[in-house]
Chains A and B, each alone.
Chain A
Amino acid sequence: MLTIELFFEQSLNGLQQGVMLFLMAAGLTLVFGIMHLINLAHGSLYMIGAYVAASVTQASDSFTLGILAALVAAGLTGMLLEFSALRRLYNRDHLDQVLATFGMILFFNELVKILWGPQALFLSTPEFLSGTLEFIPGAPYPSYRLFIIGAGLVVALLLRHLIIHTRVGMLIRAGATHREMVGALGVNIDELYTIVFGLGAMLAGLAGALAGPMLAVEVGMGEKILILTFVVIIIGGIGSVRGALVGALLVGMVDTYGRAFLPTIMRELLDPASADTVAASMSSVAIYVLMAVVLIWKPRGLFQAYGS
């Protein structure tokens, strides 16, 4: 039965999933748009964020400290990764980048297994967010998910401010379209790239740390979200942070509505047994259908990055 309350609750779920995807997609799309680098290891930074947050929260009993530690760890790992390895890949073709960064996924998965062991880690919901809020009558909503929505929207606003109103943001925009010119004007491009990469890594780490209390903190957790993240940046337009936000919300909504309402709709049309199977299959392809439709309509995604 579809009630207004249920629809509203599912919309919140879609929004929350979208916000989570945005945190991942923002970093990935910046790196792709500015350095022209396909970074499959972005999910590994998400995993590192979750693991560090879980360890630090467990040791210190403070979720805030856990998140800060995750930001620092993911940011530093990202910058180190850029400085030591990825820097050499900017001028290579995409296939080399995919191969190298895929290798890094394997490397990080094994590293995490060596450091933390193969079993999933525990990360509890902070006490003040562990309850539910019943602002939709009859449908108490987990406070933690509301917190994620809030945190994600704040990050989106901060990023917007950073890119539009600050010097670094201006360089990022300039670097995306005219990188030789920016270099010729005396800007240290290498340094800029390292900073951008670190920023993207921090966002991925933040997403991992925020996901930790809801999800299994386990080896390989990054790959599961990575595919959706790529769908998001392709829909949004590669290199555009605004596109990443719109794309993430679209994907989050379509995926959630698909899973929430397709079974009910299918049950009206088919017998229950096949309805469940058909609905499950249809909802898992829904976002790819969305991607195909967007690409037919706008082959370069919804938003093109900075006039390129």
Chain B
Amino acid sequence: MKKNKHLLPMLMAGAMALSAGFASPALQAAEPVKIGMITTLSGGGASLGIDIRDGFMLGLKMKDGKLGGVETQVIEVDDARKVENAKQIATRMIKQDDVDIVTGIVWSNLAMAVVPSVTRAGKFYISPNAGPSALAGKKCHENYFNVAWQNDNLHEAAGQYVTDKGLKNVYLMAPNYPAGKDAIAGFKRFYKGNVAGEVYTKLGQVDYAAELANLRAAKPDAVYFFLPGGMGINFVKQYSQAGLSADTPLFGPAFSFDEGILKAVGDAAIGVYNTSQWNKDIDNAANTSFVEAFKEAYGRNPSLYASQGYDAALLIDSAITSVGGDLSDDDKFRDALRKAEFDSVRGNFKFGSNQHPIQDIYVRVVHKDGDTVTNKIVSKVFTAHQDAYATECKL
């Protein structure tokens, strides 16, 4: 036993020396680029992860499997929306698979648990969705890029739009978890009227009867809610059944009204306003070819999650091209990423100082196009909008 005590540290020291010796030359031009994709592919919320993955893989396919001209290997692992899984997968990707870039996480709580360990290990993380405020502000990192949005952005746009419409007494609702609080904070940052009520519901709640009865009793002008995934489906259906849609308009972020959710909610969602940085009718060449290619490859309409996954692939492609396929110099690769020299499907796109997007945000309305319930853009709310945390980030 005593012998073993000394053996272990020695082995570890030896292993470290070996890895220090061999790890750095591993990133040479001829080597394939390894990308770790941690996302939610099973259980509740799987459709979000599947869309991100499909969008990303479509971007890769359109570059013939070579991002920036370099053979690209994507290691795709399902986190089942569990923090523990995501952490374990990330550790394995960093230590065992030695990936260059990690991407894919859908949920903010998973991102908070994984991103810091990825960047600390000297790897790059490109977020195709989650954008928690901490990672945009004080805890920002030079190796962390968000190609989607900072969590507050769509909520801020909704706050602005509701104010522009002259609504003065709005009821607010979100789940009781960090992204829910961010949502309400973001909305209030640009909303100038009175708050008729502010309710935080249980994460994963299925029945909103009690909340809806209180809501009706509060008699608001409008309701702003952020309930992603299945929670949103439940809420919108029950809102319409309670007969509230007729006189109390409903506003939300795009997350509650993507293509998959609209299919499940049906006519109950018609007339709901929601804010988004992307829609399939944004008119630019990159978007048109993306929407067509996505429909052809997967036989369904792309969602905003798919557009974000696609943009993540294009961003990586542009940066690898810019460094000539040589990822050995982290500084050069990082500078290339910062430039964001790719044609984003949402049109104008650049990174702010905290490496989060500066972009336009639109308001969409749910309408019926033939037989399908879908979104169309009503107007642009923000032009070149930046998040509120950029000033806290020391980069």
Chain A residues in contact with chain B, CB under 8 A?
1, 3, 5-6, 9-10, 13-14, 16-17, 20, 109-110, 113, 118-122, 124-125, 130-132, 139-140, 142, 144-145, 211, 213-221, 224-225, 256-257, 259-260, 263, 272, 276-277, 279-281, 283-284
One of B176, B217, B241, B267 near A214 (C-beta < 8 A): B241
| Contact of B263 with A122 in the complex, beta carbons under 8 Å | yes
Tell me if B85 counts as interface (CB < 8 A to partner A): no
* Partner-A contacts on B (CB < 8 A): 42-44, 46-47, 50, 176, 198-202, 204, 206-207, 209-211, 213-214, 216-217, 229-231, 233-234, 237-238, 241-243, 260-261, 263-267
Complex CA gap A195/B52 in Å reads: 45
Q: Is the CB of A124 within 8 A of B207?
A: no
Contact call B213/A280, Cβ cutoff below 8 A: no
Q: A122-B265, A272-B198 are in contact. Are A260 and B46 (CB under 8 A)?
A: no
Contact, CB under 8 Å: A120 / B264: yes
Residues of the A chain whose Cβ atoms lie less than 8 Å from the Cβ of B50: 118
A218 touches B264 (CB 8 A): yes
Contact present for B213 and A139 (CB under 8 Å)? yes
CB distance from A251 to the nearest CB of B (A): 12
Cα–Cα distance between A109 and B195 once the two chains are bound (Å): 40
B207 touches A215 (CB 8 A): yes
Known: A13-B210, A214-B234, A276-B199. A118 touches B46 (CB 8 A): yes
Q: A140-B243, A224-B206 are in contact. Are A120 and B47 (CB under 8 A)?
A: yes
B234 touches A216 (CB 8 A): yes
Chain B proximity of A91: nearest CB distance (Å): 32
Chain A residues with CB under 8 Å of B199's CB are 263, 276, 280
Tell me the complex Cα distance, A139–B209, Å.
Answer: 12
Whether A142 contacts B176 in the complex (CB less than 8 A), given A110-B42, A113-B42, A214-B238, comes out as no
Bound-state CA distance A161–B213 (Å) is 35
Q: Which residues of A contact B229 (CB under 8 A)?
A: 216
Closest to B211 in A: A259
| Chain A residues with CB below 8 A from B230, complex form | 120, 215-216, 218, 221
The answer to whether B234 and A215 have CB atoms under 8 Å apart is: yes
Shortest Cβ distance from residue B128 to the other chain A in the assembled complex, whole angstroms: 17
B264 and A132: CB pair below 8 A? no
CB nearest neighbor in A for B237: A214
| B263 A219 Cβ-Cβ under 8 A | no
B211 touches A219 (CB 8 A): no
**Complex formed: what's the CA distance from A257 to B209 in Å?**
11
Query: Closest 4 CB pairs between A and B?
Result: A216-B233, A120-B264, A216-B230, A13-B209
Chain B residues near A225 (CB-CB < 8 A): 206
A216's contact among B200, B209, B264, by CB below 8 Å, is which? B264
Closest to B216 in A: A139
Q: What distance in Å separates the Cβ of A241 from its nearest Cβ neighbour in chain B?
A: 23
| Neighbour of A121 across the interface among B202, B204, B264, CB < 8 A | B264
Complex contact B213–A6 (CB within 8 A):
yes
Closest chain B residue to A124, Cβ basis: B266
**Bound CA–CA A262/B155 (angstroms):** 27
Q: Please, how many angstroms separate the alpha-carbon atoms of A142 and B207 in the complex?
A: 13
Is A219 in contact with B214, judged by CB distance below 8 angstroms? no
User: Given the complex of chains A and B, what is the CA–CA distance between A6 and B263 in angstroms?
Assistant: 33
Whether A119 touches B264, Cβ cut-off 8 Å, given contacts A6-B214, A132-B242, A219-B44, is: yes
